[in-house]
Amino acid sequence: MLELNVCIGSSCHLKGSYNVIQTFQQIIEDEALHDRVEMKAQFCMKQCQNGVSVAMNGKVFSVSPETARQFFRETVLNEIKAG
């Protein structure tokens, strides 16, 4: 199971973490990935200068509400296929 941690700290919240989470949840629902992706909320990942922090497999990525769908499709789905 792939674990995605989305930062919900105050800086990421202001940058749109709620919308990123909503986008990820919608894709997980649409693609029936409940058994392959586990999403968790996490407080500060110390990457506040960037966009919304998303951790996957020990790496932290910077995502925005506008790039969330592309990030999931290109990065997360590729990781699931490779896993």
Nearest Cα neighbor of 24 from 56, 47, 48, 58 is 56
Mean pLDDT of 12-20: 96
What pLDDT, on the 0 to 100 scale, is given for residue 81? Answer: 87
> Residues 63-69: what's their mean pLDDT?
97
Q: What is the mean pLDDT of residues 18-47?
A: 95
Average pLDDT of the chain is 95
Tokens of 43: 């407080």
Q: What is the dihedral of CA 10, 66, 69, 36, to 10 degrees?
A: 0
What is the span of the domain harbouring residue 27? 2-82
Count of domains in the chain? 1
What mean pLDDT is predicted for residues 34-48? 93
List the CATH number of the domain containing 30. Answer: 3.40.30.10
